[in-house]
Amino acid sequence: MSDRRDFFGKALGAFAGLGALGALYAAKRTWDPLPSVKAAGYTTIDLSQAQENVLYTEMWRGKPIFVLKVPKKDKKAYDDPRLIKVGGEKFFIAIGLCTHLGCIPAYYPDQYKFICACHGGQFNAAGEVLKAPPPSPLVIPPFKVEGKKVVLGETSPEYEKLKEAGLVS
């Protein structure tokens, strides 16, 4: 009897171990940064390997930058004019600081939204406010698209167009 229990105990342990490995692998994939180069106020991010609905966090001028290949399933966010087109795909790229008091919101891929733990503010996958207190959308930094890369800190006709339309501050 105790042999059977040992067997089930070991089998259960091995199964749990595999599950933990799977979770670690999924988490690692999320943590893997995109290839990027930083130089004197500019950050160049290669978006060619970005996966849909996975949030990547980069740094630009000491601030966290959110990079999200917006999931097509999230129709409303996917059609948002603030998204940046890179290599035929649509990306949401913004400074990852809540526009209320500057906390870093977390992305919930299953809900396609950012939730700020500080005071409960929420943003959709295109950075638009879903729930107050944030007074305005997440801020898009100056950007320039170069092939499948985006350069942060450099302006471009696309960025100026968003600015003229009042879609970036």
> Which spans of this chain sit near ligand FES (rule: CB under 6 A)?
98, 100-101, 103, 116, 118-119, 121, 133-134
Q: Please identify, using beta-carbon distances, which residue of 9 and 120 lies nearer to ligand FES.
A: 120
Q: CB 99 → ligand FES: shortest distance, Å?
A: 8
Nearest distance in Å: CB 123, ligand FES: 9
Nearer to ligand FES by C-beta: 90 or 100?
100
Q: Which is nearer to ligand FES, 50 or 96 (CB)?
A: 96
Supply the minimum distance, in Å, between the C-beta of residue 154 and ligand FES.
28
Least distance to ligand FES, CB of residue 135, Å:
10
Q: How far is the CB of 134 from ligand FES (least distance, A)?
A: 6
Beta-sheet pairing, 42-46 with 36-39: antiparallel
DSSP 71-90: -TT-HHHHT-TT-EEETTEE
| Calculated CA dihedral for residues 107, 43, 45, 91, nearest 10 degrees | 50
State which residue, 54 or 103, has the beta carbon closest to ligand FES.
103
**What number of CA atoms fall less than 13 Å from residue 150's CA on the CB side?**
31
Sign of CA dihedral 66, 70, 73, 77: positive
- The nearer residue to ligand FES, 116 or 140, going by C-beta atoms, is 116
E strand spans, the chain: 36-39, 42-46, 55-60, 63-69, 84-86, 89-95, 106-108, 113-115, 122-124, 129-131, 143-146, 149-152
